[in-house]
Amino acid sequence: MHRRKIDRLTGLGGSVVSIKDIAAQSGFSIATVSKALNDHKDVSVPTKQLIRETAARLGYFPNAQARALKTNRTYNIGVVFNERTTCGLEQNYFASILNSFKKQVEKLGYDITFISPNIGSRQMTLYEHCLYRSVDGVFVVCVDDYIYDALEELLQSDLPMICLDYEFKGHGSVLSDNYTGMCDLTEYIINNGHKEIAYIYGDASEVTQTRVTAFRDTLARLNITIREEFLLRGQYHDAATAGTLVRQVMNCSIRPTCIILPDDFAAIGAMNTLEEMGYSIPDDVSIAGYDGIMLSQVIRPRLATIRQNTAKLGETAAKKLVSLINKDPSADISTVVIQGELIEGASVAKMH
């Protein structure tokens, strides 16, 4: 009884299709049908094709529990996405990457499950949740300082793992080139004649540290004075905080001619605040963002920013992780760096 339940398959119309039904329709034995559906080598290619066509016509889907028992795989990938702002998928950068990742893993035959330490009233570690959902691998999307400790147990496990914008020893990573991106953006602003440049950066993270370093390095390389009062810590995806800090930096004894924000959403908040203060953008003060979200290019003036290649980031992470899960000969735990693109926009004025 239990075996028969495991072997049954559900059709698109809600009717239950069994391997026996496929055998009857195709004219092959139940054993041959089972082997063909599981891609056994002792079944010829034409026979496999005929059986699979019959199964598709009947509208069959393999039972996930049955497949897991036979293959020791669930074809389920865990996604760790817990970030400080709690904006979650409202953040265009992460939403775009996850959308690309999801599309690619689905092409490769996998589902995704979000991994959290809080499931209802039940508390469990990230690793325990991965075991609870029996995931085959993990995509770690957001690594802020506050979640680092929660990841430690997961990092010590033998689960295949790919991290976004963060490098852990023994695990593969896919990084957006934040250093080059910030250098390009800062140099573009300087080449437009700006010397008094403020930078409101984001929360403490590897990405933030890399961008701040790139900003300082570019100013130093081009002999531009670094004013510490122009460097303020803000928050990602937070228009209100951006507005408050813009007011603060505009009240300095020497005012900046250009302000860089941690992301495009925060930059739009800064633009609104400056307009409320009576400033015209970019005539009175210039603004630049980071990420290259669609909204940044439909507002006026169009925002100068770095467009991150979210489609390639998500796709690359998916391919690397599935390759590790499958133990492909080409699989490795290297770091892949994806380049961004400078979007000049119209929010940075050319100084005379």
DSSP string, 44-66: -HHHHHHHHHHHHHHT-B--HHH
pLDDT tens digits along 47-80: 988 988 888 888 776 655 455 445 566 789 999 9
> What is the distance between the terminal CA atoms of the chain, rounded to a whole angstrom?
84
pLDDT of residue 212: 98
Strand-pairing partners, residue 175, are: 337
Strand-pairing partners, residue 163, are: 140, 173
pLDDT of residue 1: 34
- How many whole angstroms separate alpha carbon 288 and alpha carbon 270? 10
CA nearest 117: which of 67, 153, 156, 89?
A: 153
pLDDT of residue 23: 87
Q: Where in the chain is the domain with CATH 1.10.260.40?
A: 2-71
- How many whole angstroms separate alpha carbon 223 and alpha carbon 228? 15
- How many whole angstroms separate alpha carbon 173 and alpha carbon 176? 10
Q: Where in the chain is the domain with CATH 3.40.50.2300?
A: 76-176+311-340, 178-308
CATH of 178-308, one of 3.40.50.920, 3.40.309.10, 3.40.50.2300, 3.30.930.10: 3.40.50.2300
3-class SS of residue 284? coil
- How many whole angstroms separate alpha carbon 100 and alpha carbon 313? 8
pLDDT of residue 38: 73
3-class SS of residue 161? strand
Name the region of 257 (left: φ>0; alpha: ψ -120 to 50; beta: rest).
alpha
Residue pair 344/292 in contact by the 8 Å Cβ criterion: no
Residue pair 304/265 in contact by the 8 Å Cβ criterion: no
CATH of 2-71, one of 3.40.30.10, 3.90.850.10, 3.10.129.10, 1.10.260.40: 1.10.260.40
pLDDT of residue 69: 46
The CATH architecture of the domain made up of 76-176+311-340 is 3-Layer(aba) Sandwich (3.40)
3-class SS of residue 337? strand
pLDDT tens digits along 115-132: 987 776 667 888 888 888
Task: Give the residues of the chain that fall short of pLDDT 70.
Answer: 1-16, 61-73, 83-88, 120-122, 143-148
- How many whole angstroms separate alpha carbon 203 and alpha carbon 209? 9
Residue pair 266/259 in contact by the 8 Å Cβ criterion: no
